[in-house]
Amino acid sequence: MNNKETYKGIVDEQLELAKQRIGRALVPLENLSEDQIKRLIGTYMVAIEPNFIPWMQRAYETAKSDIAKKVILENIQCEVSKDHPKMLRDFSASSGVLLDARHYARVSKPVLGMWRLFSNDNGLTNVAIAATLENTSLEFIPYLASLGKRAGCNDFTYTDVHGEADISHAQELYRGLVEEMSQKEGAGPWRTVATAVDKTTNFLEEILTP
């Protein structure tokens, strides 16, 4: 088995574990109060809306492989040209979410932890983070839409667009991560990937649970 096939196996395993963890972390809607539902939507919004594009930009800046850079740049262009941050703000507002200090206090520590991860110059770490965010979104975006329905939302543009676009983004970033592993000098790129995937999944677990 060549290195590329080995790396594919590692990426498959790590991203699948991340999706399973997120699936287990999502609390069934029937176990949530109306206040908890709205708080979850607001918490997700204040964690993701101002940070996702800068995080992708950082991954783009530090990536070494052409495939990873191309995929991430296309993702950024899609986010900016279609104004995904506004879509998310509109989804949150339509769900009746009124932001307060509790939302920001809830995400402060996990968001700062993510920024510390991105503060390095390690393209493999940053591409792994991007791939984890996109692949696990296949689990949490439908859940977010379900929360919105329970909250009485009537603007699902954000979850509809991401539900469709994230499938291709996840597949492309999978390829980008495999290619980025091939660019890593030295032994043990799997450790870098496993650590990045684990810490990103920890972040998502924190913001997606009450």
User: What are the residue ranges spanned by the domains of the chain?
Assistant: 3-207
The pLDDT assigned to 166 comes to 62
CA-to-CA distance for 149 and 142, rounded, in angstroms? 11
The pLDDT assigned to 165 comes to 63
Low-confidence spans in the chain with pLDDT less than 50: 1
The pLDDT assigned to 182 comes to 87
The pLDDT assigned to 167 comes to 73
Residues 6+ apart with CB under 8 A from 22: 136, 139, 140, 201, 204, 205, 208
| One-letter amino acid of 18 | A
The pLDDT assigned to 162 comes to 84
Q: What are 110-134's pLDDT values in tens digits?
A: 999 999 999 988 999 999 999 999 9
CATH class of 3-207: mainly alpha
CA 31-139-78 angle, to 5 degrees, is 130
CA-to-CA distance for 110 and 117, rounded, in angstroms? 11
pTM check: above 0.85: yes
